[in-house]
Amino acid sequence: MTVHTVTRRQGGLTALYLGIFATLWFSVPKADPPLSTLLVVGSIAALLTAVAGGVVVARSRGADPTPRDRAVDRRYLLIVGAEFAVAGIGAAVLSVAGWTGFIPALISFVVGAHFLPLAPVLRDPLLRPLGVAVCVVAVASLLVGLASSASVGLVAGAGTGLLLLGYAVTALLRMSRPR
């Protein structure tokens, strides 16, 4: 029973965090209708997924008797801190260089890359394929932006948002499976 509760809490946290970030990614691109409508629908779906994750976390509060592992917490914070630093510095460099249109591709790539070292820390091996997929979206958005007049932000935002939303929903479904 305890293992199931921990899994439910982790699934809820995953849905909560990735649902919030998917909502933000769907808000990055500017698009004309009908694509803008789809981005709003994606954003609402991601927000509802985050709320569902929050409900799961709230309901599992206090049911987890295992103490927090400070070493894991430190590794998590180090990885996320490095992610924010690299993304921030990279965005600043691109901005100074006048290449602000490529910032979404850079940040998407950094987000994808940060899932790779997080997989063992969070004991979730499925974060690796998510990280690779997000990096592929980032590279694709860069290539599309360089080869056409399409918006890098549209490709990076919609693609990364879809991947994060899909993973958040998957986390909710995985934790509801009977053991």
Which tens digit of pLDDT belongs to each residue from 124-144?
Answer: 999 999 999 999 999 999 999
Q: What is the pLDDT of residues 15-40, one digit of tens each?
A: 999 999 999 999 988 888 899 999 99
Q: Do the Cβ atoms of 152 and 94 come closer than 8 Å?
A: no
User: pLDDT of 147-177, one tens digit each?
Assistant: 999 899 999 999 999 999 999 999 999 876 6
Q: How far is CA 74 from the centre of its chain?
A: 20
Give pLDDT, residue 1: 36
**Secondary structure class of 4 (helix, strand, coil):** helix
- 50: CB partners within 8 A, 6+ apart: 15, 16, 17, 18, 19, 20, 22, 23, 168
Task: Determine the Cα–Cα distance for residues 136 and 59; give it in Å rounded to an integer.
Answer: 36
- Do the Cβ atoms of 43 and 31 come closer than 8 Å? no
pTM: 0.91
What pLDDT, on the 0 to 100 scale, is given for residue 117?
98
Average pLDDT, the chain: 91
Task: Give the whole-angstrom CA distance, residue 48 versus residue 12.
Answer: 12
pLDDT of 12 reads 93
47-101, pLDDT tens digit by residue? 999 999 999 999 988 766 567 789 989 999 999 999 999 999 999 999 999 999 9
pLDDT band at 5 (very low <50, low <70, confident <90, very high): very low
> For residues 152 and 42, what is the distance between their CA atoms, to the nearest angstrom?
18
| C-alpha–C-alpha distance, residues 28 and 32, integer Å | 13
Residue 176: CB atoms within 10 Å: 11
- Please tell me the predicted confidence (pLDDT) of residue 60: 86
